[in-house]
Structure 1
Amino acid sequence: MSKFDRYLLSQLVALFGFFSLVLVLVYWINRAVGLFDDLISDGQSALVFLEFSLLALPNVIRLVLPLSAFAATIYVVNRLSQESELVVMQATGFSAFRLARPVVSFGLIVALMMLVLMNVLVPASRAILAARSAEISENATARFLRDGAFLHPADGVTLYIREISDTGELMDLFLADDRHPLRSTVYTARRALLVRTDTTPKLLMIDGSAQTLTREGRRLDLTRFDDVTYDLGSFMTPSGTDRRGIEELSTRELFSPTDALLEETRSTRAAFLYEAHSRIAQPFLGLASSLIGFAALLLGSFSRFGLWWQILFAVVLLILVQTINVAASGAGIAQDALWPLAYAAPLTGLAIGVLLLWNAQRPRRLRRAMRGIFAS
């Protein structure tokens, strides 16, 4: 690699790291706010919040890498143009395709990072995140059993516990169940225990009473009991630990979907094939976005005010590629034979980049016509 290639590549990598850090923080903070509210309101600790945030990071990084690569390329090329460094290299005889060589190397580095993320880290983190979510959803003690506070685990249900002993015994429990349209029941107990079963957790109340008010006729029945069992699963959503999502499967499983996997994920063969090929194709959006940003800015001439029209043109082209990606995603999961649409956006982006590079080294008359388009 020549000295100029190393210089340009180092500039791209440094700015890529900076923009990636900024965009990841923005995405992560945006998602962490909602995650914090959900976990803390359910009684989880800050460590659980940190664990869930870290597990969500691989998918966030996957989303921002193409944007970071595009932003880094635009920034570096615009700065080199303002400082006349690109003009000097072009004057020495470097063609547009020769100048793009370090950009292609940079794009391939980004593509390799995305390949590792999409085929290894993201599925693994999604699987661990789903398992931990199911585990926490079954943890009724952390979700519902907090002493000294009125809790509302479901609409029409109110729970109050005066104290939870060191052995896990619930002292002086109050439970009001007002979900039935014709009657409401209030349970009080001196002691209670949380009992786990194979299906759902149950609340064993000891030495208490149940007051049932029948709305029709305004009748109040009082029943004293030594012990009674209350099913907490009546207002707990099922965890679904035995069912995985398509995002949690490995790429090998996606390429060879079995009937068992289709039934487990409740998905279609078309969705499996499109997701598998998407994990191979999407990483090259990083290369395409870098190439589009670099080639679009080569169309402009030196200006101390920068290449703002070319930058706007590159942004429009990137939006076009992303639009194709979204449209292809919607159509690709509809039929088995449409899995090649997963490659539509990356190939379109690469084709646009190559076409712009070819146009950038055309005779001056054609380049002047292109600049006239920007000026208009």
Structure 2
Amino acid sequence: MTLIQRYLFRQISLPVVAACAALAGIGILSQSLDQLEVIVERGQSVWVMVKLTLLALPQLLSVILPIGLFVGALIALTRLQREQEMTAAFAGGMTRWQVISPAARLAVLVALVTLFVNLFMLPWAQHEARRQAFAIRTDLAALLVEEGQFVQGPDGLTVYVQQIEQNGLLKNLFVYLDDGKKVTTWNASEARFGRAGGVPVLTLTDGSWQQYSSNGVLNYLSFDNYTLDLTPFAGTTEVIRYKPSDLYLRQLLNPSPKLLETAGSRGELLAEAHSRLSSPLYALVAMALALAAILGGAFSRTGYSLRIAKAAGLFLLVRVIGYGLVAASAWNAWMNILQYVVPILAIAVAMRVLFRALKPRRSRRRRAGALKARTA
């Protein structure tokens, strides 16, 4: 790139990065608010909430990168055109393609980043998020403990905790177990869930144990420390069920019979695969429409609000159509080709507007005078 092209690339890329960062920040904030349920209702730590929020970031990036590119490019190009820096570049002998090449390179770079996110970061993050959600859903500490409530577990188990501290320490615990033959209770001033030898246990401190058998015998024991084995209550028949968005590209294109049973039909997986490959094209659509809105018409000192509104509306329409095609392609495999055709067609239309010859408009009076001169 020449010196002027490097300058244009820098002037366009900075607002694009700022717009993407702002949209990502809003998305992360929204995700963190949704994940508060993990702490409030599931009793998990703040670190688990942060981890789930960050794991949702690749999915956010695949959506916000084209939008951030479009918004940032419009801001940068409007400023450059209003300050007549683009006009100075044209006056210096640069062709239209030489002027827009920095923006085109930035769009290609964003498209490559989006493709990398779709093919590698997104499935890895979705896999980890699904496993973490499964672990939370099957966590004994979350299933058996609720502050100030009697929680009924499996096989006649009932647990009550007066207070749960942030570090996971349980205060004033009561455990009741009725297996049909005998009734056993535990009381402890403090307790904590953990694992010993690979099995889940509940470690009780400063408490007592009572057992009342069916023959009327009562046994009593006080203890400083007691380890309650929770293995009989930890069994679960649930398995992790993945969605098409959780799978890698090779799994989408060549799914195993097990994935077809759990993740979705072959058509749904194939539609998701083509969506991963075609969605980076919308970064090129965003930049092409932004360039067409600012440079695709005559210079205006009053701004380009109408042209920007038309470009934004067209970009929104094309993106919505793209999402609709993903859903429709799950049941009609031939429509997968349209996932590529629609953005390519939008790019072609925008480039046609950008490179069209700008013909000066003549007033009606001048046209009428020219027509009269021809007939005279």
Instruction: Tell me whether the two structures share a fold, i.e. TM-score over 0.5.
Output: yes
Give the counterpart of 1:321 among 318, 323, 332.
318
TM-score of the aligned structures, taking structure 1 as reference length: 0.75
Give the counterpart of 1:304 among 279, 301, 304.
301
Equivalent positions of 1:102-141 (< 5 A) are 102-141=102-141
Instruction: Report how far residue 152 of structure 1 moved.
Output: 6.5
Deviations 1:11-51 (A, max 9, x none): 12111111111100111101110102333431111111111
Instruction: Report how far residue 225 of structure 1 moved.
Output: 9.6
Does residue 27 of structure 2 align to residue 30 of structure 1? no
Unmatched 5+ stretches in structure 2: 203-207, 221-227, 364-376
Q: Which amino acid aligns with 2:336?
A: W
CA distance in 1, matches of 2:211, 2:295: 81
Q: 1:363 matched to which residue of 2?
A: 359
* Cα separation, partners in 2 of 1:154 and 1:293, compared to 1, 3 Å: farther
* Cα separation, partners in 2 of 1:128 and 1:195, compared to 1, 3 Å: closer
Q: 1:263 matched to which residue of 2?
A: 261
Instruction: Report how far residue 140 of structure 1 moved.
Output: 1.2
CA distance in 2, matches of 1:282, 1:153: 47
Equivalent positions of 1:326-341 (< 5 A) are 326-341=323-338
**Larger relative contact order (CA 8 Å, sep ≥ 6):** 1
Q: Which amino acid aligns with 1:270?
A: G
Secondary structure of 1:161's aligned partner: strand
Equivalent positions of 1:44-55 (< 5 A) are 44-55=44-55
Q: Report the count of equivalent residues.
A: 334
CA distance in 2, matches of 1:310, 1:176: 72
Q: Verify the 8 A CA contact 2:12 2:73 in the aligned structure 1.
A: yes
CA distance in 1, matches of 2:269, 2:187: 54
Does residue 7 of structure 2 align to residue 7 of structure 1? yes
CA distance in 2, matches of 1:111, 1:315: 19
Instruction: Report how far residue 276 of structure 1 moved.
Output: 1.1
CA distance in 1, matches of 2:87, 2:54: 44
CA distance in 2, matches of 1:224, 1:171: 23
CA distance in 2, matches of 1:154, 1:311: 60
CA distance in 2, matches of 1:365, 1:223: 105
Instruction: Report how far residue 281 of structure 1 moved.
Output: 0.9
Give the counterpart of 1:207 among 210, 213, 218.
210
TM-score of the aligned structures, taking structure 2 as reference length: 0.75
CA distance in 2, matches of 1:69, 1:310: 17
Q: Verify the 8 A CA contact 2:290 2:308 in the aligned structure 1.
A: yes
Does residue 178 of structure 2 align to residue 173 of structure 1? no
Does residue 156 of structure 2 align to residue 160 of structure 1? no
Q: Which amino acid aligns with 1:46?
A: V
Deviations 1:239-275 (A, max 9, x none): 533x32222211112112232321131x111111111
Q: 2:374 matched to which residue of 1?
A: none
Greater C-alpha radius of gyration: 2
Q: 1:251 matched to which residue of 2?
A: 249
Q: Verify the 8 A CA contact 1:108 1:287 in the aligned structure 2.
A: yes
Q: Verify the 8 A CA contact 2:297 2:358 in the aligned structure 1.
A: no
RMSD (Å), alpha carbons: 3.9
CA distance in 2, matches of 1:349, 1:187: 71
Deviations 1:115-171 (A, max 9, x none): 11000001111111111222222221245336xx3137689x98523589xxx9996
CA distance in 2, matches of 1:252, 1:66: 25
Q: Which amino acid aligns with 1:315?
A: A
